[in-house]
Structure 1
Amino acid sequence: MKWTGRYEGYRASSFRKDIVSGLIVGIIAIPLGMAFAIASGVKPEYGIYTTIIAGILISLLGGSRYQIGGPTGAFIPILFAIVLQYGYENLLIAGFMAGIILVIMGVLRLGALIKFIPRPVTIGFTAGIAVIIFSGQIVQFLGLTGTVKHEHFLPNMKEIATHLSTFNAYSVATAAICLAAMLLTSKYLPKIPGSLVGLIASSIIATLFFKGHVATIGSSFGAIPSSLPHFHFPDMTWDRVQTLLRPALVIAMLGGIESLLSAVVADGMTGARHNSNRELVGQGIANMAVPLFGGIPATGAIARTATNIKNGATSPISGVVHGVAVLLILLLFAPFASEIPLASMAPILMMVAWNMSERKEFMHVLRTKTSDSIVLLITFLLTVFTDLTTSVEVGLVLSVILFVKRMSELLTVTKVLPDSADKREKVRAHIVSESHDCPQISITTLDGPLFFGTAHRLEKAIRDTFRLRPHLWIIRMSKVTYMDMTGEAKLASLATDFGKHGGIVLISGIQPQAMEVVKKTGLHALIGDDRFFAHTGDAIDYALRHLESAKCIGCQHFAFRECQALSKGNAQ
């Protein structure tokens, strides 16, 4: 049987590969799902529910053949802050609203816009999130007691320092065993999930030798139910919607970024191409469904997606299998999960933080010592010491400001004249001098974008150039790559002012985008249709025909080849 679309060429052998990869990713996803949920301030089973529901729906409805969806580390600081500030029920509402926002973004085809978020911003907040996740696991790793979780980094660090004397040697030993098992497995048995080996090994040892001395999932959160989650629609009111709109936007934005980044990684590994808008719709539907069963927000998981591909996945079926595998394990083995020590979860999340930190990219951008380095560092510091919303907002605004500043330096305004030494008499800037500059015709070359960030440069350069008031002004615009309304307004102001003194404005080589702007604003009609030329040579010929001949007599500038005759009083 041969299917089309994302299942084109799908056969029995493909299904076998999807089964294997789906099972492997499902096994990996279980400890991660529980760990992410605990770190987000909710019960571990909610992470499992999210893995099941979101995993299946994102694979079926998303825009990538290989995407694995579920709870991710990137969400931890956001979700924890929402739970702390608004409570678990409101987290469900915020997640549901984020799903709606993602669907709207996909329907409006805004998937491409997310790709325009500057790389230094994404690296900065990703590294910041990694620091928060890593530092947040120190309490569980050391087994500290009496600590209170806070929303921000510094108060949490203060809690650790204050309660450092309460560390539990059994917890440290359990965490160390888990970490060692993970590292050894990844080194010597790379095809076996290190997190699962570490979790099982440390749990068995803790149960046999440290029982009663280390906190477990069961002792801290109660037994994990071995049943399907119950359907429950959150109690949404208009007041709650208004209050939670900002958190929902943050969840949607981060979910969109993470899912599309994961899809891009999958494309790079397979040569496939994802549909970004369909991906957003799929992510949105999944995030609308997950809260109805008590789950937390989900997105594309880069590490699990990469693992899915490396283990031979061929279609979205592998993602569905991964969700079903987690469901079966929940139904069959949930009681055993209650015995997992919290200290065993800490090194798993620490490793997640280490892997997602993008430390090499971070240092690479930092070493460039450019404006991107500033954006990266500020976004990183604000993520760690304030919150993700503030850091992304400031990072984006700062990126825009620095981008406009860089772009404002790209526009050059140069006075030029024909080079008589050139057979084609191309215009060049170095030809212009005090003794070789036509008093009646001024030719200006604009090179670069003419927009709100560069308009002031145009005015200043022109004012400086027009020491003598010429009769004709030729503006060469073939190199103006873009013009906005501010640039047009500045050009119109200069042209109008020039015309008030009897001057004639001629424009050559204007590009289609800029021509469309001047036609819409009326500047084209103001200058005159007959004063727009495709080539500078045609504009110069027009200008020479409209010279004031009397002023040419005796002129020694000889800016044009016709000047010799005009200087002697000979008509053209």
Structure 2
Amino acid sequence: MSPTSPLRRTRSLLPSVADYRETRRSWPKDLLAGATVGIVALPLALGFGVSSGLTAEQGLITAIVAGFLAAVFGGSHLQISGPTGAMAVVLVPIVASHGAEAVIAVTLIAGLIVVAAGLLRLGRTVSFIPWPVIEGFTVGIAAIIFLQQVPFVTTPDDLAPGEVSTNAFAAAVQLVSSADWSYLPYSLGAVAIVAVCMVVAPKIHESIPGSLVGIIVVTVLAGIVPNPLATIEAIPQSLPAPSLPVIDPAALPTLLPAAGTIAALAAIESLLSARVASSMSDAGAYQPDRELVGQGVASIGSSLFGGIPATGAIARTSVNIRAGGRTRLASIVHALVLLLIVLVAAAPVSRIPLAALGGVLFVTAVRMVNVDTMRSILRSTRSDAFGFIITALITVSFDLIVAVGIGVVVAAVFALRKLSSMTSVRIERVSESDAARPGDEQVAIVHFRGPLFFASADRISDEVLDLTGVSVVVLRMSQLELVDATGAHILTDIVRGFERRGKTVLIKGVRDGHAGLFRQVGVLSALRHKAHLFDDLPAAIDHARSHVERARQS
């Protein structure tokens, strides 16, 4: 069977015993890392569940089910998956437009789309997203996560859909202007306590989970001091029974675009996180196509238990690596630790104030912004700085996936513009050389340099066809680096244009990689005679001189 057979390719996307080959040596570190990440992930899972416009329970279910399935089926040994801030940002308008029940159906559809993307081998497409666009996207996400926590500190009441704008910035302005001022001292105090714990705890010892310490402190104080703080709703002491989401066929036309957005975000965020993980540890090599399959399976599984879409989470993945995680066992243990918390500590978890979760996410959002990275991008090139800024602004103002798309387009336009400027032609007359002969003033050599493609083809054509006062033109192609169909078509037009004006065209130095394209598009057939194609410049010049001599004698 061929190594590239469909069966072998499919097997490479499935779990295998080889995934756990290193576990016999690394299991102590994996167990410790998994327990550490599980503790760190608890407040984030709860917070992102609530921040999505859904429930803390759904965030926790997602972290358990999706975290386990992504660990087993995914393409990274180190990736930690679950609910993330970026996904919470996408889910808020979906909940507002379609309701909470629709999110579960959309999660299932999105999971199927991501699995299909993995089967179609689309895992490497994330490499086409430029670094400034990724950073702009991250900054925009951080801003939205920060703004989405405003409801937790301004009012103790749940807000019905439609009461505030679905735009995070507009909603934050509305909520601040109508804030319950008697509530703010308590909520801001809770946020401050959590923030201080998250900043100070790692300075005492890097293994102390500051977010969890902060939440415990606020929860204990809230149980002692009378206060109006809203808390998490009661969490069941077990996972719900799995069931297929109900999908209304009539609603599919409106749900599919939302599912497509979620699928695109899940794929992009997971692959970026896996790529970062691979650069942080020698155990971080990953399979991008299998990662897509794994993340799709994770979201499908999450939907069966009433959860929300999952993605790879770079913050939790980083904690796993720093804690010594080496294999998938750490990710599996992380999910089991969260499950244990549900089984034995659901009641205490339900008493956590929402403002405390808001504090965790406020600090998380701030930490997502790397000032040194922003400074580096803004000081690099104007095109990269513009791509970074426009991506961040559109992410906050409109839509995440649209922002990435526009950012990539902006980067591509600037890249094409720069690449186009590298294309040049230089025209020289044979009569200007030291070995010139009578009649050489009638021969011109056109040197092509750089890439000749759709962005530069028209400009080059105009420059070359402006050539006058000669009877023979030698097109020198040996330094032509890249040619697309448009570039080859323009060369055909150049040859035909000169020939129509009675000038003989000779071509010298066609590269092997270009010959097939030139033949297919018609560059070579446009020559007056097949003998007008040369590999050697002196031979081409001698042939040009023979044409000039015959013309002088006639």
Q: Partner of 1:487 in structure 2?
A: 487
In structure 2, what is the equivalent of residue 95 of structure 1? 107
Aligned to 2:172: 157
In structure 2, distance between residues paired with 1:350 and 1:385: 19
TM-score (norm 2): 0.90
Match of 1:327 in 2: 339
Cα distance, 1:364 vs. partner?
A: 2.2
- 1:142, 1:169 within 8 Å by CA — same for their partners in 2? no
Cα deviation, residue 437, structure 1? 9.9
Q: How many Å separate the matches in 2 of 1:206 and 1:437?
A: 99
> What SS does structure 2 have at the residue aligned with 1:413?
strand
Q: What TM-score does the superposition give when structure 1 sets the normalisation length?
A: 0.87
Q: Which residue does 1:6 correspond to in 2?
A: 19
Q: What residue number does 1:358 align with?
A: 370
Per the alignment, residue 512 of structure 2 pairs with: 512
From 186, 191, 195, the counterpart of 1:175: 191
Q: How does 1:86-485 map to 2 (within 5 A)?
A: 86-143=98-155, 148-164=163-179, 166=181, 167-210=183-226, 212-217=227-232, 222-271=233-282, 272-368=284-380, 370-416=382-428, 438-464=440-466, 466-468=467-469, 470-485=470-485
Distance 1:213 1:449 in 2: 67
2:544 corresponds to 1:546: no
Aligned residues with identical type, % of pairs: 36
Classify the secondary structure of the residue corresponding to 1:324: helix
Q: Secondary structure at the match of 1:449?
A: strand
Provide the rounded CA distance (Å) in 2 between the counterparts of 1:368 and 1:534: 42
Paired residues of 2:22 and 2:327 also in contact (CA < 8 A): no
Counterpart CA distance in 1 for 2:288 and 2:191 is: 39
Deviation of the 1:246 alpha carbon: 2.0
Q: Equivalent residue of 1:337, what SS? A: helix
| Inter-CA distance 538–194: structure 2 relative to 1 (3 Å threshold) | farther
CA contact (8 A) 1:411 1:457 kept: no
Query: What is the CA–CA distance in structure 1 between the aligned matches of 2:345 and 2:156, rounded to whole Å?
Result: 29
Judging changes above 3 Å, is the alpha-carbon distance between structure 1 residues 366 and 239 closer, same or farther for their aligned structure 2 residues? farther
Shift of 1:498: 1.4
- 1:299-335 C-alpha deviation (Å, 9 max, x unpaired): 1111111111111112111111111111111111111
Give the Å deviation of 1:203.
1.0
- More off after superposition, 291-300 vs 474-483: 474-483
Q: From the superposition, tell whether residues 490 and 311 of structure 1 become closer, same or farther in structure 2 (CA, over 3 Å).
A: same
CA distance in structure 2 between the partners assigned to 1:417 and 1:252 by the alignment: 59
Separation (CA, whole Å) in 1 of partners of 2:245 and 2:255: 13
Moved more, 81-90 or 238-247: 238-247
- Whole-angstrom CA distance in 1 between matches of 2:402 and 2:430: 54
Aligned to 1:557: none
Match of 2:534 in 1: 533
Structure label with greater radius of gyration: 1
Determine the C-alpha separation between the residues in 2 that align with 1:78 and 1:525: 55
Alpha-carbon distance in 1 for matches of 2:191, 2:285: 40
Higher mean Cα deviation, 89-98 or 325-334?
89-98
Kindly indicate whether the alpha-carbon contact (under 8 Å) linking 2:154 and 2:180 is maintained by their aligned counterparts in 1.
no
Matched position secondary structure for 1:340:
coil
Q: Is the 8 A contact 1:142 1:343 kept in 2?
A: no
3-state SS of paired residue (2:426): strand
Q: CA RMSD in A?
A: 2.6
How many Å separate the matches in 2 of 1:200 and 1:249?
38
Q: 1:338 to 1:145 in 2, by over 3 A?
A: closer
Go from structure 1 to structure 2 and tell me whether the alpha carbon gap of 1:287 and 1:417 turns closer, same or farther (over 3 Å shift). farther
Cα displacement (A) at 1:216? 0.8
- Equivalent residue letter for 2:221: I
Segment drifting more, 194-203 vs 243-252: 243-252
Instruction: State how many pairs are aligned.
Output: 533
Specify the SS of the correspondent of 1:245. Answer: helix
Provide the rounded CA distance (Å) in 2 between the counterparts of 1:120 and 1:263.
Answer: 18
Alpha-carbon distance in structure 2 between the residues aligned to 1:522 and 1:237: 54
In structure 1, list runs of 5 or more residues that go unmatched: 426-430, 554-572
CA contact (8 A) 1:103 1:285 kept: yes
Question: Quick one: structure 1 residues 363 and 250, their matched pair in 2 at CA, closer, same or farther if it must change by over 3 Å?
Answer: farther
CA contact (8 A) 1:123 1:376 kept: yes
**Deviation of residue 204 (structure 1)?**
0.9
* CA offset digits 1:51-98 (Å, max 9, x no partner): 111111111111111111111111121111111111122222222222
Gaps in structure 2 of 5+ consecutive residues: 1-15
Deviations 1:265-311 (A, max 9, x none): 11111134211111111111111221111111111111111111111
**Judging changes above 3 Å, is the alpha-carbon distance between structure 1 residues 6 and 542 closer, same or farther for their aligned structure 2 residues?**
farther
> SS of the residue aligned with 2:473?
strand
Amino acid of the residue matched to residue 272 of structure 2? Answer: L
Q: 2:429 touches 2:443 (CA, 8 Å); kept in 1?
A: no
Amino acid at match of 1:273: A
Contact 1:442/1:472, CA 8 A, preserved across alignment? yes
Q: Secondary structure at the match of 1:227?
A: coil
